[in-house]
Amino acid sequence: MKTDTLFRPFSLKGLNLPNRIVMAPMTRSMAPEGIPGQPQVAYYKRRAAADVGLILTEGTVIDRPASRNTPGIPFFHGDKAMAGWKNVADAVHAAGGKIAPQIWHTGSTRGGKWEPEAEVESPSGLVGPGEPRGHAMTQEDIADTIAAFASSAKLAKDAGFDAVEVHGAHGYLIDQFFWSGTNLRDDAWNGPTIKERSRFAAEIITAIRAAVGPDFPLILRVSQWKQQDYTARLAATPDEMTDWLMPLVEAGADMLHCSQRRFWEPEFPELDGAEGLNFAGWAKKLTGAATISVGSVGLNSDFGGAFAGEASQTTPLDRLVTRMEKDEFDLIAVGRAILSDAHWVEKVRDDRMEELQGFDAEDLKTLA
C-alpha cells in the first residue's frame, strides 16, 4: 500500500504543512492550576520532531467562570498560562512543526465528580435533553463569552501559534447551542431550524476574525454526535447540513474539523451508498471550505472503549488512502495512535508499518 497521498504538502492562508496528517486534540487534564509547563512542552515537541504536519493542542479554556469541567485542563488566558503556551509553541517551531491551540468552553458537561466554584452555564440550563444543570446564560453572559473566545484567539496569534481551532463539537457549550435538545431559548439564539441555532457560533467566529485579521487560519471543530447521545444528529439531510455549516464558513471559518467516531462511515448512506462521502467529505462538498476528517484512524475500535481502559490494535490504512486519493477531505486527524506512538507519522512515511503500535489506554495517564 502506497501512502504518498498522505504526504502531499497543504497550504491555507500561510499555514504551510509538509503533509496531511494532524495530531487530533485530546484532553489530557495535566496542567496544575491551569498552567502548561515543561511536560507539555516536551509532549508536543516530540510529535513535532516526528513529522506530524499540524499539532492541535488539547482543549484549552477561555476566560469564563466554570469554563472547564476538570481541574487539570489548561487555561488559554492569563500571563502565566500564556507564557507556558508560548514555550510550547516555540519548542514545536524549533522542532520544525506547526501548532494551533484548541480553545474551548465545556458548558454544562461533567468531567467526573469535580465541580467548579462557579455555577456552570449553558443555553438553557441543561446538560442534555430534559436534564437540568446550571443556569441559562443571560445576554450579558453570551456577549462576554463571545468576547472571551475572541480574546483567546488573539492571544494565540500574539504568542506565535500558526492557527487557532474553536471547539464547537461533542456536546460542549457551542454545540449545546446547535442542539435542539439543549437549546430551548425563546430569543434570537434559537429558532425552528439549525440555521438559527448556529448564530452563537457564527458570532464567535465573526468576533475572532475581527480580532485576528483576515489572514490568520481559523478552524472550527463540529460533530453530529454528542457525549450525551452518540446517536444525535444536527443535520439529517445535506440541506440541513448546509444550513448549519454555511453560516459558519461565511462568518470566517477557513476549515471545518468534522468529528466522527469512524472516519470511513458514510454520512448519508441512503443517498450515496456504503462507500459514500463521510462527514468531512459532505462538509467540503456543501460549503467549499477545507476540511479535516478524524475517527479511529489506524485502529480497530473507536475512542469510547479508551475511557473503560480498553486497548486498540492497529489496522491497515487502505480505506484512508483511498478516500484521500479522491480528495474527499483535505487533512486527516490522528488521535490515540499518535498518543501511544509519537513516531507514528515517521513510520507510515517510511513504510515501516510493521513497527506501528496500537493504543494502550495506560498512555492516557501520562504525557509521554
Active site residue 44: no
Question: Under a CB-based contact definition with an 8 Å cutoff, are residues 23 and 10 in contact?
Answer: no
Single-letter amino acid, residue 247: P
Cell triple for 30: 495535566
- Helix (H), strand (E) at residue 19: none
CB atoms within 10 A of CB 12: 18
**Cα 283 to the center of its chain, rounded Å:** 15
Question: Under a CB-based contact definition with an 8 Å cutoff, are residues 280 and 256 in contact?
Answer: yes
Q: How many Å apart are CA 79 and CA 67, to the nearest integer?
A: 18
Beta-carbon contacts of 105 under 8 Å, excluding residues fewer than 6 positions away, are 61, 62, 64, 67, 145, 148, 149, 167, 172, 173, 174
What is the DSSP-derived secondary structure letter of residue 38?
H
Cα torsion for 109, 112, 114, 115, to the nearest 10°? Answer: 20
116: buried, middle or exposed (CB in 10 Å: 19+, 13-18, 0-12)? middle
- Helix (H), strand (E) at residue 204: helix 199-212
Question: Under a CB-based contact definition with an 8 Å cutoff, are residues 311 and 327 in contact?
Answer: no
Q: How many CA atoms does the CB half-sphere of 92 hold within 13 Å?
A: 29
CA-nearest of 334, 282, 346, 330 to 10 is 330
- Annotated catalytic residue: which of 43, 44, 172, 230? 172
Q: How many Å apart are CA 139 and CA 188, to the nearest integer?
A: 10
86: buried, middle or exposed (CB in 10 Å: 19+, 13-18, 0-12)? middle
Cell triple for 344: 507514528
Q: What DSSP string runs through 332-364?
A: EEE-HHHHH-TTHHHHHHTT-GGG---B-GGGG
So which residues are the catalytic ones?
172
